[in-house]
Structure 1
Amino acid sequence: MRRRRFLELAGGGLAGTALTATVAPPAPAAAGRGRFPAAAGRGRSRAAPPFAVVAADGTGDFATVQAAVDAVPAGNAAPLTIAVRPGTYLGQVVVPSSKPLITLTGLGATPDAVVIADDRANGTLKADGTPWGTTGSASVTVDGAGFRARNLTFANLFDEAAHPEITSRQAVAVLTRADRVEFDRVKFLGNQDTLYTNSSAAGVVARAYFRECYVEGDVDFIFGRATAVFDRCRIHSLDRHSTPNGYVTAPSTDVANPHGLLFHRCMLTSDAPAGTVFLGRPWHPGNDPDAIGRTVIRDSWIGAHVGATAWSDFGTWPWREARLAEYHNRGPGAIPSPERPQLTDAQAAANTMAAVLRGADGWRPQSCK
């Protein structure tokens, strides 16, 4: 299925997912809720020329994204931009921790024009005969702090139907482990475990901001222990023709971290039958008892694919012992139910975008508008 969808994408766009048509948010939340205050004196400045231009046809400085990343000086102290011309770039990309402050910008008219992808899964074998594992399956891995991506698509093209012999099908499109990372109008395409928002170690806080992005998948396709905000994004659950059809989130937030995954003014959509998708389940990697997952979905529109019971246990770990909640959602899938915990107004005031991302350094993402 992933290979077919990729061919559709490369041939002129993924039907039904154009950002201009699909991520328009529901009616704005009440004034003062969940927004960053306007920065005084902010204005437009002329953009500096890119550090490097990547072009698949050889007309740029580099033909691959990884080659451009490799050319960035280790310990780079100033922001720099790698501009990527329209095309499809196959192969894993790793942004190491020694190369912070990189911005990856697609030069196409839409995010579909630049596709960065790979096609391996957890159970895909390396040359030495051992599996890649979930982390190793990532098409793109971001360990460099301050990384930013704009106007492009990240995909994992692993074709589940073509590989029935592979039962470990986690196939990550992007893995983030760095702090202060941003994605602005970016698409993330995959099936199981599409977007892995993580940190460098248990107990380490890593913040990520997603603005007007599109994320698709089926099982646990937004997961990990990062502190991540999804602002006006479209979150699309694929129909895998199964019951249940899948789980949107699988947070593994450390118990000491008050904030995990926050969805603000998003649209949760699906082609799956009504009531067959869960909003999430708590993941305890390695059976870590301190991974008390946190997901909050607020001021968002939820489709009918989500039923009255919106959360699920994960193996022996009960969802009721995790930190899962909603607030002021609407749509056919926002069903009032005792099985769907709601934040109080006071709790909601402590779970705004600014409060979640601010941290001790007062971070405000540049792409937040």
Structure 2
Amino acid sequence: MSRIVKWSAALAVVVSGTAAIVGVTALSSAAATTLTVAADGTGQYKTVQAAVNAVAANNSSRATINIKAGTYREIVTIPSNKPYITLNGTGSGPSNVVIVNNRSNAGGYGTFGSATVTVNAKEFVATNLTFSNDYGTGSQAVAINMNGDKGIYKNVRFLGNQDTLLANTQRQYIANSYVEGTVDFIFGDATAVFNATSIYEKRSTGGPITAARTPSGNTYGFLIYKSTITGATNNTTQLGRPWGASAQVLFRESSLSATIATAQPWIDMSSNSWKNARFYEYKNTGSGATTNSNRKQMSDSTAASYTPQKYLAGSDGWNPVG
């Protein structure tokens, strides 16, 4: 996917070999689209944000930032005018590259502003790394805030407690990944598909996994597809609660362990009743997948229109699922 990026002469900055000149803010027209970050100084940049800053604004082709094994305690923002950026961890697994911070709502940043990583650009990709917020418990503290359209996250760990993963707007695709938290740790307005992803409720007293705020005019919200739901204790974890009155969440063909509060897996949030939300299950398995009057099951005919591809297609036919 790596290609030479052609920037306007006005934005060009000379880069020699692999060592970036101090103060560089944009890649030159002769520079490759692959950058290297290493906390130990063996790469072009020591921080992820410095590499992001080196990508010229309004780039028209992909820039891949390879991140060597290490812990990067920083705040990273992918601005809206820098699309097509890939953050790729080059360690042996996603736990080897960790981008982490500890901002929180309680610390004065607000929930959205507490994010360790904020993605505002379209067609962002993250692979083989970890996004974490290690603030602890007692406040909203976001690991990632997803905003740009057509975001792809594969083999990524999302670690936090309350409000770990904010799928805030647009379309987001998370596959073969891991999400953990305590309360509302998958939340937001976006249309998001979680495919073959492990989701873990880490609090011993349980809590709701999702808090969707799907706009009423949107058909699709969150799809948890062929994923695995586990938790620290049995019969304590809720599938979700409605942050917005028209919240839409479907757990489809997933393995629900005994952690699920089987009798009442959907609960109210403030004045929003789970009974009025668009909450469904479809062909789930496992000891937590029992059925009763509090667990609306989607019909086969309706489920045909609630596939990962349908969720993400939009008006341009986007299909990252394959």
TM-score, normalised with respect to structure 2:
0.89
Q: Which residue of 1 aligns with 2:258?
A: 304
Per-residue deviation, residues 293-328 of structure 1 (Å, max 9, x unmatched): 110010100011112211000022110111000000
Secondary structure of the structure 2 residue equivalent to 1:362: coil
Q: Which residue of 2 aligns with 1:270?
A: 231
Q: Which residue of 2 aligns with 1:316?
A: 271
For 1:234 and 1:293, locate their aligned partners in 2 and report how far apart those are by CA, in whole Å.
22
For 1:159 and 1:346, locate their aligned partners in 2 and report how far apart those are by CA, in whole Å.
43
Q: Which residue of 2 aligns with 1:190?
A: 160
1:325 paired with 2:286, answer no
Q: Which residue of 1 aligns with 2:60?
A: 77
Aligned partner of 2:249 among 267, 291, 295: 295
Deviation, structure 1 residue 225: 0.6
Q: How does 1:22-61 map to 2 (within 5 A)?
A: 50-61=33-44
Q: What letter is aligned with 1:267? A: T
Aligned partner of 2:311 among 356, 363, 366: 356
Higher relative contact order (CA 8 A, sep 6+): 1
Per-residue deviation, residues 210-235 of structure 1 (Å, max 9, x unmatched): 11000000100000010000010001
Aligned partner of 1:232 among 174, 196, 203: 196
Identity %: 44
Deviation, structure 1 residue 256: 0.3
Q: What letter is aligned with 1:195? A: L
1:219 paired with 2:197, answer no
CA contact (8 A) 2:98 2:132 kept: yes
Q: Which residue of 1 aligns with 2:16?
A: none
Deviation, structure 1 residue 51: 2.4
Q: Which residue of 2 aligns with 1:208?
A: 172
Q: What letter is aligned with 2:99? A: I
For 1:339 and 1:59, locate their aligned partners in 2 and report how far apart those are by CA, in whole Å.
56
Secondary structure of the structure 2 residue equivalent to 1:75: coil
User: Unaligned 5+ residue runs, structure 1?
Assistant: 1-44, 125-130, 161-166, 200-205, 285-290
1:170 paired with 2:147, answer no
Q: Which residue of 1 aligns with 2:119?
A: 142
For 1:113 and 1:305, locate their aligned partners in 2 and report how far apart those are by CA, in whole Å.
29
Deviation, structure 1 residue 153: 0.5
Q: How many residues align?
A: 294
User: Unaligned 5+ residue runs, structure 2?
Assistant: 5-31
Deviation, structure 1 residue 175: 0.4
User: Which structure is higher in strand share?
Assistant: 2
Q: 1:47 to 1:150 in 2, by over 3 A?
A: farther
Per-residue deviation, residues 4-57 of structure 1 (Å, max 9, x unmatched): xxxxxxxxxxxxxxxxxxxxxxxxxxxxxxxxxxxxxxxxx8888652100001
Q: What letter is aligned with 2:294? A: E
TM-score, normalised with respect to structure 1:
0.78
Q: CA RMSD in A?
A: 1.4
Deviation, structure 1 residue 59: 1.0
Per-residue deviation, residues 262-321 of structure 1 (Å, max 9, x unmatched): 01100001122x21111000003xxxxxx5111001010001111221100002211011
Per-residue deviation, residues 128-161 of structure 1 (Å, max 9, x unmatched): xxx110011000000010000000001001033x
Q: Which residue of 2 aligns with 1:37?
A: none
Secondary structure of the structure 1 residue equivalent to 2:315: coil
Q: What letter is aligned with 1:252? A: R
Q: What letter is aligned with 1:135? A: F
